[in-house]
Chain A
């Protein structure tokens, strides 16, 4: 699994917990991956939309203008499951070397 796949896994996992607007998605991921800029995460989010793994809708934001909310599609959930499987395999493989 590459770092991009890990980012994708975290992003999809985040969206699986509920619909979120852009800033809500980008900031926790940047905190978890400090050497990654938000523009790279946004590009990834956009790429997921193009692959129909996510979709978006506009909804009122807290008192301000409408915000763009992202949500997972069924294809996105399937992709999340596949990435979770990859992650478990990799974690077990690394653990077999004694890495904790």
Chain B
């Protein structure tokens, strides 16, 4: 049987830090990591016997865990992660039905489900992290950059949507479909931005959640912003499903969409602002 190589001091500390940051609030975990650094890097310590003397890193982190608080956090995390999963699922299952022909009554108004999940996610996460989260010093490194990236990407998608949902483009689209039976590239691009973007926003939101737990609660701003962007994707896709270009009212799509997108986005931005405070 192949014998496992013993962990080096650095590897041990890295594994321990990862486990303890997930289980304990930031201030406590930093304290434990600093104590373990001192214990591990003692001159007298035999690095070959680290695990034997100190125990497995995850087990060591487990011993420091307040099980009740940790379980409560896990429940909150599972609920929030499930909300994100729903957003991705809705975008991916709803888009293939977008045809702009034949009003699908079955999905009319279903975009609001995504909005309900977003509001629940924002309230739950802000409540939890303002009570149990911690922040230290200035804004965490990378927070502004990641938020700006999400914001720019979402704004770009919304600009394309503004163009695609304009009456002139919808008229052009109807003509192209009737005459040439082909989908314009703008619609194909919008599809990619909605579907792939929806997944990317969800992953960014999940990362924000994990970073808020492990390092600084202000990372929740990334979660709030990315969740809002993912929700807008869900709302738009379900709304596009309800378009039927054979109806004259369909050409008011732009007004319909943006009178709803703007307040939803504003709610998300308020949530992001609160997360940053």
Residues of A within 8 A of B63 (CB): 39-40, 42-43
Bitwise, A16-27 to B at CB < 8 A (1) or not (0) is 000001110011
Task: Give the residues in chain A near B44, CB-CB below 8 Å.
Answer: 23, 27
Known A23-B44, A23-B45: A42·B39 in contact at CB below 8 Å: yes
Residue of B nearest to A45 (CB): B35
CA distance A68 to B42 in the complex (A): 12
Query: How many chain B residues touch A (Cβ–Cβ < 8 Å)?
Result: 17
Does B178 interact with chain A (Cβ within 8 Å)? Answer: no
Q: Which of B38, B45, B53, B64 contacts A37 (CB 8 A)?
A: B53
A-side contacts of B54, CB under 8 Å: 37-39
Are B64 and A23 in contact (CB-based, < 8 A)? no
Known A23-B44, A37-B55; judge A43-B39 contact (CB<8 A): no
Q: Does B245 contact A (CB under 8 A)?
A: no
Q: By CB atoms of chain A within 10 A, which of B32, B36, B55 has the most?
A: B55
Whether A38 lies near B64 (C-beta < 8 A) is: no
Decide yes or no whether B257 CB sits under 8 A from chain A: no
A60 adjacent to chain B (CB < 8 Å): no
Measured between C-beta atoms, what is the minimum distance from A1 to chain B in Å?
21
Chain B residues whose CB sits within 8 angstroms of the CB of A30 once the complex forms: 53
- Please report whether the interface of chain A is mostly helix, strand, loop or mixed according to DSSP: helix
Alpha-carbon separation in the docked complex, A37 to B61 (Å)? 13
Point out which of B39, B45, B60 has the most chain A C-beta atoms below 10 A from its C-beta.
B39
> In the complex the two chains form, what is the Cα distance from A64 to B42 in whole Å?
9
Residues of A near B45 (CB, < 8 A) are 23
**Assuming A23-B45, A37-B54, is B35 touching A43 (CB within 8 A)?**
no
Which residue of chain B has the shortest Cβ distance to A26 in the bound complex?
A: B39
- Closest chain B residue, CB of each to CB of A64: B43
CA distance A68 to B39 in the complex (A): 10
| Chain B residues with CB below 8 A from A38, complex form | 39, 53-55
- Interface assignment of A84: CB less than 8 Å from any CB of chain B: no
CA gap between A55 and B115 in the complex, in Å: 49
Q: Chain A residues in contact with chain B, CB under 8 A?
A: 21-23, 26-27, 30, 37-40, 42-43, 46, 64-65, 67-68
